[in-house]
Amino acid sequence: MSQPFNAPPPPLSTPATIPNNMVMAIIATVVSVMGCCLPHGLVSLMFAMQVGKKEAAGDIEGAKNAAKQAKMWAWISIIAGALCLVLSLIFGVFAGIMSAISR
C-alpha cells in the first residue's frame, strides 16, 4: 500500500522586504520644492534611499528605522508645503481684495 502524501513544511521565516516609501518621498520633495522650498522632502528622500542599502547589509532594524523616518519626514514635508500653499493663496486673495477696496 502507498503512504499518504504529506506536504513539505513551509520555510521557517522568509524575510519580508521593508517598504522604502520612495514614491511618497519623491512626492513630498516635489510638493516641498513647489510649495515653499523647504528641505524636508530631501531629508525624506535621503532616508528612503538608505532603506535598501541597510536591508542588503543585513541591518534590518536600521532599515526599519530609516523607512519610518522617511515616512515621517515625507508627511512633514507634504503638510508644510500644503500649509504654505494655502497661506499664500489666502494672503493673495486678501491682497487682491484690499487693492480693489483702496481704488
- In order of 5, 6, 12, 13, the CA distances from 9 in angstroms are 12, 9, 8, 11
Q: ∠ CA 96-101-36 to the nearest 5 degrees?
A: 20
pTM above 0.85, yes or no: no
Task: Please report the sign of the dihedral spanned by the C-alpha atoms of residue 55, residue 57, residue 60, residue 63.
Answer: negative
Q: What is the pLDDT of residues 12-59, one digit of tens each?
A: 665 678 899 999 999 998 888 877 667 888 999 999 999 999 999 989
Per-residue model confidence as pLDDT tens digits over 46-88:
999 999 999 999 899 999 999 999 999 999 988 988 888 889 8
